[in-house]
Every structure is written in structure tokens, then in C-alpha cells.
């Protein structure tokens, strides 16, 4: 995992269950299916040398419960009523996740009461007046090939009491929430209210973040698609930079706190010369600053491609102090700042140049998933259904070391996954671009 390690205990990784599973799973009627038992665990840390140094027996290590169908389930499928909601910003694969969840419920378990709530958590609150959508295989047919979310989405806090009021009125016993860290924090509040009322309602998260910054999962769904779409913007920037004397192609990509898209797209394209991410602070001027390095590049090769993540360089600007609907600090526009500072610096240095600035953010967010993400979305949706039917709750489903696992919502709230400047991803960026490890104002 490309991040500083987060301290967790084996106890924190335990998955909460609503009760004892006593009902035979209908999955057992399918030939060749192997059930997963709760005792099957995936080690958090898979480095043998590190495990040996800790001197702790394997069974005492921090591990994650494997996802998949259980032999006994908690809910009677004939009595289950399900809610599905998508929240936060758009991301490739949202519709594919909705569809796979519906198909898993309908075809594998025979659930016939599935409802889609419109426009995020707003959909549960009566005063907004949003319709509830009956979902079935015919309704979601073809959704896997569509970008965006057919259920709509929204950002911002909603009262968990009002949300649970709606769940009670509609007798919803399983709620699937698809969203990022803000959505999961909201889901934790819903779980707390469900518990306070003594309800037997499971809440399962399917983590969505185009920034790939949710803890304890290898990769978010849609990330591969987003990185691939970002490469197209970098290709255009490269063409533009080479089409002018001292041409600079500047591309701003998503990445509020984590530079995974910027790094991954730059490696895939490999003609990028500078990558600036939130995890690695930088200075613009001074002997070791970014702008002098860019000037040297132009003097040497007469063109350059620069990629910057949206959350990079925030210390170079005055923070507004404002908070967005998701509870995050309002970012200043590093792309516009860089564009203007590059133009001004090169002009003052007597260098004639052409700077082309590209911000493809919304083009990347709204594209349909590629084949890799389509498969991943299908598997996540099915495994979320298996977890819910087994009565598991307050958890998300994700992939760790190549296997789908269950992760408690509470541990994902410990922080964000970020690029670790001391690990292979950033090292590969440095080796590919040839840029300095740090841009600072000291030699």
C-alpha cells in the first residue's frame, strides 16, 4: 500500500454481525460454489521479513475477513427490503455497481423488493421530494455501460435520524451506500442511529473515490478508468508542448489529498517531465525551486509537460478558510496559479514560450468504466450482497492484496491513503521524469 502505515489492532478489524446465521443460503444450490468462512483472513501486512521481525505468530497478526458467500445467512430473502444510494462526486463505474448489486440480490438470493434512493442521502429526507425508484434486472439493463449514476448524487450532511426514519417507514433491512470518505462517515452515523433504535438493519458500504484515497483497499473502483482517461489529456498536452517553441503543456488532475491519478497517468504516458502532488511540498522559486528546473528543461529540450494534482501546492496560496458540502477545506486553484507563475517567470527570464493549460477533471469523472473496472464493480456488488445477507454491518467491501475483503467502516475513518514518497510509486515517477525528489529554495 502506497502510504504511511496506519496503526490498527486485530480487534479493530473484527466485523460486526447482527446475529447468528441460521438460514441455509440459496447459493448452495449452485454447483461448484465454495463457501467462505469467517475464519478465512487476509494478512494486513504481507511482507515476510517484516512479519519475522515482529516476532508475532501469524494467527496473532492484523488481518481482514475474506468476502464471499456464506453457507448460512441471517436474512430470509423473501422478507428482505433493500435500499441503494450513491453519494458524492461522480466516478466511473457507479452504474455498474448499482447493477451488479441488483442482479446479485435478484438472481442469487431471490430478493424482490429493491429501491434506489435519488440524489444521495437527500433521497431519504421527505422535504426534498425525491422519488424512490423500483429496481430490478430490467430497469438496470445496460447501466454497466453508462457513465455517471442513474440514481443521481449529492454532497453534504443529512440528519441520520431522518434517514433512519425513512428506513423504518419502508421496512428497509439492508442499505447499500456507494460513496467516498464523507459518505462512509455518514453511514457510520446511520449505523449508530440504527443501533440506538435496536433495529436489525445492515449498512454496507461500497467505497467510491476517484482519488483512490480510502484506507485498507488496494484500489478504488473506477480508478483505472480515470487514470486511462487522464492519459489522453497528457497526450494532448505533449502534442501541444512540442508544437510550439518552448512549449509547456500543463495539466491539472484530480487528487485533493492524494496524488495517485497524477502519478499513475504520468507513468502510463511516460513523456511527462514534472509531477507535483499534495504529498510532496514544493517551492516555485529559489535555487532548487520548480520554476528554475522548468527553465533548465526548456533550455535543454525546448518543450515540457507538467502534471499537477488539484491539492498540490496549497501552501503557496492563501487559504479561504471555507468548507465545501463534503466537509473538506475549499481548495485554491493550483492549476491557474501555476499557469500564471510559469508565464510570468519565463517572461521575466527573457524566454519566449507558449503555455497551454488543460483541466480535464469533469471529462474524466463522467466516462463509463473500462473492462477492468466493469469486472471489479461486478465483484464488489456481489460481495456486498453476500455480506449483507450474512447479517454483517458497519463495513465496506474492497480489495486487499488482490482478494476481496470486509473492512470495518470505523478503521477507514482513521485517515486517508496517500502516496508515500519513500515507496516504489513515487520512486518510479522520479526515475521516469528525471525530476528532483524535492523542489525547494535551498541547494
Catalytic center residues: 211
Rounded distance, CA 290 to CA 222, Å?
31
Using alpha carbons only, give the angle 427, 441, 270 rounded to the nearest 5 degrees: 30
For 7, other C-beta atoms within 10 Å of its C-beta total 7
Q: 323: which residues sit within 8 A by CB, 6+ positions away?
A: 329, 330
For 263, other C-beta atoms within 10 Å of its C-beta total 27
Q: 363: which residues sit within 8 A by CB, 6+ positions away?
A: 229, 233
Rounded distance, CA 105 to CA 389, Å?
9
Q: 138: which residues sit within 8 A by CB, 6+ positions away?
A: none
| Beta bridge partners of residue 355, listed in sequence order | 248
Tell me if 339 sits within 8 A of 291, measured CB to CB. Answer: no
Rounded distance, CA 89 to CA 92, Å?
10
Rounded distance, CA 100 to CA 377, Å?
7
For 138, other C-beta atoms within 10 Å of its C-beta total 7
Residue in the structure block whose three cell numbers are 504516458: 269
Rounded distance, CA 437 to CA 426, Å?
9
For residue 36, give the C-alpha cell.
Answer: 467462505
Amino acid at each position: 500500500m502506497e502510504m504511511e502505515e496506519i496503526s490498527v489492532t486485530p480487534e479493530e478489524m473484527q466485523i460486526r454481525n447482527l446475529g447468528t446465521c441460521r438460514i441455509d443460503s440459496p447459493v448452495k444450490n449452485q454447483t461448484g460454489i465454495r463457501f467462505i468462512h469467517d475464519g478465512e483472513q487476509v494478512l494486513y501486512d504481507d511482507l515476510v521479513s517484516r512479519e519475522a521481525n515482529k516476532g508475532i505468530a501469524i494467527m496473532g497478526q492484523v488481518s481482514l475477513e475474506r468476502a464471499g458467500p456464506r453457507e448460512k445467512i441471517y436474512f430470509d430473502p423473501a422478507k428482505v427490503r433493500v435500499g441503494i444510494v450513491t453519494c458524492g462526486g461522480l466516478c466511473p463505474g457507479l452504474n455498474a455497481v448499482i447493477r451488479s448489486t441488483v442482479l446479485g440480490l435478484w438472481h442469487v438470493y431471490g430478493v424482490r423488493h429493491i429501491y434506489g434512493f435519488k440524489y444521495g442521502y437527500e433521497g431519504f429526507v421527505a422535504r426534498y421530494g425525491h422519488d424512490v425508484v423500483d429496481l430490478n434486472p430490467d430497469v438496470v439493463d445496460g447501466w454497466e455501460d453508462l457513465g455517471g449514476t442513474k440514481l443521481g448524487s449529492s454532497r453534504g450532511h443529512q440528519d441520520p435520524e431522518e434517514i433512519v426514519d425513512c428506513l423504518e417507514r419502508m421496512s428497509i433491512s439492508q442499505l447499500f451506500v456507494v460513496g467516498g470518505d464523507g459518505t462512509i462517515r455518514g453511514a457510520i452515523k446511520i449505523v449508530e442511529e440504527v443501533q440506538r433504535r435496536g433495529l436489525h438493519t445492515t449498512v454496507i458500504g461500497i467505497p467510491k473515490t476517484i482519488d483512490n484515497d480510502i484506507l485498507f483497499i488496494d484500489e478504488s473502483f473506477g480508478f483505472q478508468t480515470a487514470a486511462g482517461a487522464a492519459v489522453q489529456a497528457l497526450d494532448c498536452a505533449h502534442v501541444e508542448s512540442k508544437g510550439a517553441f518552448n512549449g509547456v503543456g500543463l495539466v491539472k488532475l484530480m487528487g485533493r489529498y492524494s496524488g495517485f491519478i497524477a502519478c499513475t497517468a504520468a507513468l502510463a504516458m511516460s513523456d511527462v517531465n514534472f509531477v507535483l502532488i499534495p504529498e510532496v511540498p514544493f517551492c516555485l522559486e529559489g535555487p532548487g525551486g520548480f520554476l528554475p528546473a522548468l527553465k533548465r528543461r526548456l533550455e535543454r529540450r525546448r518543450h515540457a509537460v507538467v502534471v499537477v494534482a488539484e491539492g498540490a501546492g496549497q501552501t503557496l496560496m492563501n487559504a479561504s478558510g471555507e468548507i465545501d458540502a463534503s466537509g473538506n477545506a475549499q481548495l485554491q486553484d493550483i492549476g491557474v496559479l501555476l499557469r500564471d507563475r510559469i508565464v510570468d517567470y519565463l517572461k521575466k527570464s527573457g524566454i519566449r514560450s507558449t503555455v497551454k493549460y488543460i483541466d480535464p477533471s469533469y471529462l474524466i469523472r463522467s466516462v463509463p468504466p473500462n473492462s477492468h473496472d466493469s469486472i471489479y464493480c461486478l465483484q464488489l456488488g456481489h460481495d456486498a450482497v453476500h455480506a449483507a445477507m450474512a447479517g454483517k454491518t458497519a463495513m465496506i467491501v474492497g480489495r486487499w492484496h488482490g482478494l476481496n475483503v470486509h473492512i470495518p467502516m470505523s478503521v477507514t475513518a482513521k485517515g486517508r491513503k496517500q502516496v508515500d514518497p519513500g515507496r516504489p510509486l513515487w520512486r518510479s515517477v522520479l526515475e521516469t521524469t528525471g525530476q528532483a525528489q524535492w523542489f525547494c529554495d535551498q541547494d
